[in-house]
Homo-oligomer: A and B are copies of this chain.
Amino acid sequence: MKNKVEPKILPGMMELLPQDQIQFNKIMDTIKEVYESFGFFPLDTPVIEYSNVLLAKAGGETEKQIYRFTKGDNDLSLRFDLTVPLARYVAQRYNELIFPFKRYQIGKVYRGERPQKGRYREFYQCDIDVIGNETLSMVYDAEIPAVIYNVFKKLDFGKFTIRINNRKVLNGFFDSLKLNDNSTDILRIIDKIEKIGSDNVIKELEELNIDSEKITQIMNFIKIKGSNEEIITSLKEMNLQNELFSTGINELEQTINYIKDFNIPQEYYQIDLTIARGLDYYTGTVYETILDEHPSLGSICSGGKYENLTGYYTDQNLPGIGISIGLTRLYSKLKEANLIPNINNNLIECLVVPMDKQCLKYAIKVATTLRENKIVTDVYYQEKNMKQKMKFADRQNIPFVIIIGEEEMNNQILTIKNMRESTQQQLPLEKVISHIKGE
């Protein structure tokens, strides 16, 4: 015997068993279907890019996590998100694209993190972005939540809330307090309020040497609550003489108004002034999405509006807006929380079981007819006993089993077992088809 190599994979990689993979793919297909229904075009970029192109903007933590290597003369890296490749693509293909350019991309990205629960080194991101040429209509700020709503309504993981804010409101407010220099730090601290609580937010703000009076104003501001209309009214009543702030309120109001026309029930979206999104490139509307009954999962879909996508590559001014779903993490969390119904992990609709070798040819013919009628069908060809054949159907969670013996062949009739209901009947082939289809 030769020496065997132990078959194993790197920690931090999600690799599923077939039935889980079916569930995962069904979720991915639903996301894809909704993205396409809004006219987002598919995009597929290489996993490997030139390091200088991919890291044009990166630095610090991101750069440390990158999978980077040389091959021949080339310094290469694996993509760590889908936004940088989009920027590169749009800059490179600018003259061939039609704007506004709506694209979705569902693909794997790579981060060489220390593996820990819920963190992955390889994971799927499902992104959409709209890129405008010079300008971008405010209606997209409402279309994006409409896409989020339709995705998670279809996925059916329970009630969710799309939280909406506008960075201009936040930045304008800090500007009026003359805290612009600290605004990035303040935004980062505010963003953590749900995780660390008000007291710790105050403590961290004090550490930035901010007056207690200003801290009180900040805390009052982020505690503004109520319906979307009430929050907008409260913001207006603050009467801050700051243009950025006013623009922000106006954008927030427009966003909320347009959202109504997309048929989204009011309980699914809510202005939340504490949301800033850590990333420093968002400049307008920002989003987070929370499963109401599982807030500990954090935001399951986030994003926002940015002023210029491609600044590192071209002089074009290309504003955009987008969101991302981190599907690998989401799936693993949902699975853990038992939120994915088991019913969906079935692929094969019907298994044809020939009783012995003499029935094989007829079994193939029956299966071929079922497939021609769009019924996903497998045949158990292996020579095993009946008990093992039925066990196969059972373990695969197959709803219908057709048994073919000599009697069935001679009488041109099929015995069909309903595995869920443990019933069985004899039917001619054409009736079997409509029976399986539930007609």
Contact = CB atoms under 8 A, between A and B. Distances in A.
Contacts of A17: 93, 96-97
A392 B42 contact: no
A15 B45 contact: yes
A396 B101 CA distance: 11
B377 A37 contact: yes
Given A360-B139, A382-B100, A53 B7 contact: yes
Interface string A304-321: 000000111111000000
Nearest to A91: B7
A167 to B, nearest CB: 21
Contact of A383 (B49, B137, B142): B137
A6 B262 contact: no
Contacts of A313: 4-7
Given A92-B8, A364-B261, A347 B43 contact: no
Contacts of A268: none
A97 B13 CA distance: 19
B42 A18 contact: yes
Interface string A1-17: 11011111110010111
Contacts of A39: 347-348, 351, 376-378
A364 B122 contact: no
A152 interface: no
A358 to B, nearest CB: 13
A50 interface: yes
B67 A381 contact: no
A31 B381 CA distance: 23
A206 interface: no
Contact of A10 (B74, B93, B311): B74
A96 B19 CA distance: 11
A132 interface: yes
A297 to B, nearest CB: 22
Nearest to A45: B15
B56 A5 contact: yes
Interface stretch (A102-110, A155-163, A431-439): A102-110
Given A8-B53, A68-B69, A263-B365, 13 more contacts: A5-B56, A7-B53, A7-B313, A18-B43, A37-B376, A39-B376, A67-B69, A100-B381, A137-B381, A137-B383, A139-B360, A143-B381, A262-B368
6 contacts: A5-B56, A7-B89, A9-B88, A38-B376, A41-B347, A262-B368
